[in-house]
């Protein structure tokens, strides 16, 4: 699965400087006056890597359909061992970011939405609202995976801002990095979230068309809750609208 390979490559590249617990290896310069910054950053990277790895498994249709029990267990690891602690630590390092106010606001908002979407997805499945569960988890996964597109935007933005190194930024490379990081942090998560919303709307439309077509044909066999959870369809007896 290509997504899983990208995720494994990303984690293999990202984790070593933080798993070493050596602040000198950090790729982010620590802000002044916050000695615990590296500890929070290392915790953020570890928990977020759990989220990214488990999210890669959860979005794999074969895994969800063939292993519904494992899907539930891995889901709990994603929520309680990945997204929530990774988001809380991300909020702290986001508030202390050395990349300026634009990046600060973006990171704090992203961390808040990441936790909110994930917790809402969990609450929905506890209430057996499987279609809503899938919708909130798609949003949560879009934010998790946005870390990968974030790095691509980072490269593009750096190349766009670099020609102004001598002029606008007076030969100060830190200012070039700060300016490009400010734009990158916003594009990194807003674009995947918009794509996820568009996909959810389109999928809802396609499903309603298919349902309308089926209503004029023979009736569906009843569906149990486990099958509904993996397929995303509304199970028989669930009062929720698709
Ligand atoms: C979705 C919510 C996330 C938020 C709010 C967030 C926030 C942050 C912040 C604030 C930093 C410090 C750099 C800066 O100030 O801009 C950072 C660094 C980092 N984050 Fe996240 N992050 C998130 C998701 C992830 C995920 C899913 C991963 C996956 C492993 C990840 C991996 C990293 C890594 C490796 C660094 C260190 C920078 C580097 O070595 O390149 N983050 N993150």
Q: What is the residue extent of each domain of the chain?
A: 2-231
The pLDDT of residue 163? 95
The pLDDT of residue 223? 54
Tokens 């709307």 label which residue? Answer: 201
Q: How far does the centroid of ligand 1 lie from the alpha carbon of residue 91, in Å?
A: 10
pTM: 0.88
pLDDT, averaged per 10 consecutive residues of the chain (242 residues), comes to: 89 96 94 95 98 93 93 97 98 96 97 98 97 96 97 96 94 94 97 97 92 76 53 43 34
Maximum alpha-carbon separation in the chain: 72
Q: How far does the centroid of ligand 1 lie from the alpha carbon of residue 102, in Å?
A: 15
Tokens 């990945």 label which residue? Answer: 82
Q: How far does the centroid of ligand 1 lie from the alpha carbon of residue 113, in Å?
A: 14
Tokens 């490559």 label which residue? Answer: 9
Ligand 1 pocket by Cβ (under 6 Å)? 11, 14, 27-28, 41, 44-45, 48-49, 51-52, 87, 90, 93-94, 97, 99, 103, 107, 110-111, 114, 143-144, 147
The pLDDT of residue 230? 52
Query: What is the 8-class DSSP label of residue 31?
Result: P
The pLDDT of residue 239? 34
- Per-residue b/e over 204-213, b at no fewer than 16 CB within 10 Å? eeeeeeeeee
Tokens of 73: 């267990």
Q: How far is CA 79 from CA 49, 84, 166, 191, in A?
A: 12, 6, 45, 23
Query: What is the 8-class DSSP label of residue 217?
Result: S
* Closest C-alpha residue for ligand 1 atom 19: 45
Q: How far does the centroid of ligand 1 lie from the alpha carbon of residue 145, in Å?
A: 11
Q: Which residues contact 116 (CB under 8 A, 6 or more apart)?
A: none
**pLDDT per residue as tens digits for the range 62-87:** 998 999 999 999 999 999 999 999 99
- How far, in whole angstroms, is CA 161 from its chain's centroid? 26
Q: Which atom of ligand 1 is nearest to the CA of 185?
A: 16
Q: How far does the centroid of ligand 1 lie from the alpha carbon of residue 194, in Å?
A: 20
């Amino acid at each position: 699965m290509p997504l899983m390979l990208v995720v494994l490559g990303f984690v293999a590249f990202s984790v070593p400087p933080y798993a070493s617990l050596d602040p000198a290896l950090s790729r982010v310069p620590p802000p002044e006056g916050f000695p615990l910054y590296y500890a929070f950053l290392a915790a953020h990277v570890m928990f977020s890597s759990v989220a990214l790895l488990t999210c890669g498994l959860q979005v794999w249709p074969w895994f969800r359909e063939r292993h519904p029990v494992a899907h539930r267990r891995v889901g709990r690891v994603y929520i309680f061992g990945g997204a929530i602690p990774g988001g809380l630590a991300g909020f702290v390092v986001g508030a202390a970011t050395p990349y300026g106010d634009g990046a600060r606001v973006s990171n704090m908002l992203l961390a808040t939405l990441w936790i909110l979407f994930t917790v809402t997805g969990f609450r929905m499945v506890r209430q057996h609202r499987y279609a809503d569960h899938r919708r909130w988890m798609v949003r949560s996964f879009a934010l998790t995976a946005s870390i990968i597109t974030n790095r691509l935007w980072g490269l593009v933005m750096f190349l766009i801002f670099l020609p102004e190194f001598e002029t606008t930024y007076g030969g100060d490379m830190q200012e070039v990095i700060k300016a490009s990081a400010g734009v990158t942090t916003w594009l990194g998560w807003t674009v995947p979230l918009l794509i996820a919303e568009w996909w959810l709307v389109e999928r809802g439309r396609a499903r309603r068309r298919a349902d309308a077509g089926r209503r004029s044909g023979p009736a569906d066999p009843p569906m149990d809750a486990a099958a509904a959870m993996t397929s995303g369809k509304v199970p028989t007896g669930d009062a929720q609208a698709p």
